[in-house]
Amino acid sequence: AVAGVRDKTLIINLPGSPKAVKENLKVIIDVIPHAIEKIKGDETECGR
């Protein structure tokens, strides 16, 4: 998967096959809410 941000939109490109989409989503699904909070302007430290 490849992800990026444009303006305040999180863009996630996933592979073409359903199996690969499931595998990739399992890895990133838990961090999506955190990414959205950061995009919205949350400035708390998160890299520790």
What is the pLDDT, as a whole number, of residue 20? 97
Give the structural domain span for 10.
2-39
Query: How many domains in the chain?
Result: 1
Within a domain: 46: no
- Domain assignment present for 48: no
- Whether 16 is covered by a domain: the verdict is yes
Q: Which two tokens stand for residue 32?
A: 């999506």
What confidence tens digit (pLDDT) does each residue in 5-42 have?
999 999 999 999 999 999 999 999 999 999 999 999 99
Q: What is the pTM of this model?
A: 0.78
Is 47 a member of any domain?
Answer: no
Burial 8-47 (b: 16+ CB within 10 A, else e): eeeeeebeeeeeeeeebeeeeeeeeeeeeeeeeeeeeeee
Helix, strand or coil, per DSSP, at residue 2 = strand
Q: Which tokens belong to 22?
A: 């499931």
Would residue 8 count as lying in a domain? yes
Residue 44, in any domain of the structure = no
